[in-house]
Structure 1
């Protein structure tokens, strides 16, 4: 359901549609408030469900709900945004814009590809647009790092030391390659890091699935390395979006999961029609 906040005294005849991050469902009142502060009539959607960003159980066995989240809810928001009237003075909306975060920005990019007239401008930063590959890559990284008793396991506390060392070497204009004597990692742990930094390439086809993270990402790489099993964003995607199997675990993951994801793209969330926005 779409709801509009009161337009501020700036009186612009423009709307700003906002969205949620992760797999969250609910009205994003905070971002709506920011839009109203700058004079926009702000809109938000719940993407068809109510949940936190890391709760995906709502998608189990519900393909239509996945589609709502993947693109259909934002498509409806775009139609309201571009054709609706200003609730305070009944003037016709002249311009409409979209702003989102993470998967929200991915959904905004998807909307720009399937319906370019929905918004006059789309603000996207770090959009999680390659849903069928990004989520599976993060599960693969978790598979390299878990369980915790494996020799190459890297605890999240070690990443802070690594991040400081990479930053120091970058400042010294030297190559920031982690070394065991400087960051106190074992050879097995360094091997895990090298795999995590490297591109994820399919063992069966040789196809590039996902480029690895860049040096300098160590401050946030715990998001894929250091959940106690795997990131709920990613293992949840496989359990509740792709396979309809709540018992699916990290150890069950292999390249066939990626291939299935690419074929089916549950929810139609992947925004890879580059020519549509060229």
Structure 2
């Protein structure tokens, strides 16, 4: 009786171990790459998967979007400026078979490829382009990575440059450049204002020269403005035309 009980117990343990090694449950976002005696036999899932113990093995693959932080890279721009640039990479597996068979470690391979591509693409541009045209650079990096990782069954969804770090001397140089640019713009605006004011004065002078009565009205208006000020000294401007008339009268009398 005792031997029969032990036999049933051993049989139950073997059955439970068989079921535990044979049954797999895959979530909706998971796929299983199955190998039979070392040879690829298909991709299964999601749901309940039954394997033959000791004959079949399965590798789980997550199909969700992976967020990979690209560590800071030393980049020398086309105008010989040394900067540190880091980025974030968004990718997902679209072919579980190729992601497991074609590359040993798709996570490490994608990360290393992103680092080298980041240095290669940014090294072809100047510092101003890195700071002002990030969208275009992100698109260029994403396109190159997507083409190279397609053989691994990986789709690169997006690449975002996070930070472009400069050393202190370069920060000071950029600040001086920005200040000089602001001063230049201020001087240009001031010169344009002076030019417009001179053009208006010339136009006003031509109009007054055509109408002598308008010049007299302007003269009286100036006298009115002077008289309205609180000053002990009043200066009366003498029109140049009056001097010309006096000179002409003196010449006739002579």
Give the alignment's TM-score, normalised by structure 2.
0.20
Task: State the structure with bigger RCO (CA 8 A, min sep 6), 1 or 2.
Answer: 1
Between Structure 1 and Structure 2, the one with more helix by share is: 2
Max Rg structure:
2
Between Structure 1 and Structure 2, the one with more strand by share is: 2
